Every structure is written in structure tokens, then in C-alpha cells.
Amino acid sequence: MTLTPRDRLLIWSIMDMRLVLKDYSVKQLSDLAKISIRTLHYYDEIGLLKPSYKGANNYRYYSETDALKLQQIMFFKEMGFSLKKSRTL
């Protein structure tokens, strides 16, 4: 079977997406966002940023989508919005 250039591009795009989409532990996400682990735990407690799932070890794991949501929360916080207001935006 011969793949066309378009087929090859599509396959690489799908492979790239699989490489980019990953889950983060609390430590990894806190390091990435330069915030404390306690802050992530607090955001979970108040329902602002819930982890995508908890592992068998009961650790919290965040998806790439969660990381983007955290980025938005941090942006709104930097702009002076309260956490309560950030939840509704």
C-alpha cells in the first residue's frame, strides 16, 4: 500500500496529537505553572479546577485541557479577577 503525501501528513498529525496530549501529576503541573501543589489542591477543593481523574494510588492527574484551564484561571487572577469570578468566566 502506497501512502499519498496527504495520508502521511494526516498520520503524522495524529501521531503529533498523541504525543502532545498527556496527563500531568500535581507535581508536574505545579512545576509547569510555577504554582504550589497546595494551590492545585485548593482549586480542587473549591471546585475551580478538578483533576481529570485519580489514579489507583489516589493521586490527582490533570489533562492537557485542565492545564489550559489553569492557564486561563491564572490569566484572570493576574487581571485582578477573584477566583469566584474566574469560575463563571
Residue-wise pLDDT for 53-73, tens only, equals 999 999 999 998 999 999 999
**Total count of domains within the chain:** 1
pTM > 0.85: no
Q: How confident is the model at residue 8 (pLDDT cuts 50, 70, 90)?
A: low
Beta strands in 1-89 (DSSP E): 24-25, 53-54, 60-62
Residue showing cell 474566574: 86
Residue 85 to residue 27: CA distance in whole angstroms: 26
Q: Is residue 42 part of a domain?
A: yes
**Residue at 76 is within a domain:** yes
Q: What is the CATH number of the domain that holds 37?
A: 1.10.1660.10
Query: CB-based contacts of 69: which residues, under 8 Å, 6+ apart?
Result: 49
Supply the range of the domain harboring residue 29. 22-88
Q: Does residue 6 surpass a pLDDT of 80?
A: no
Contact 70, 50 (CB under 8 A): no
pLDDT number for residue 22: 78
Q: Which has more pLDDT, 50 or 19? A: 50
The label of the residue with cell 484551564 reads: 69
Is residue 68, in this structure, part of any structural domain at all? yes
Task: Share the mean pLDDT of the chain.
Answer: 84
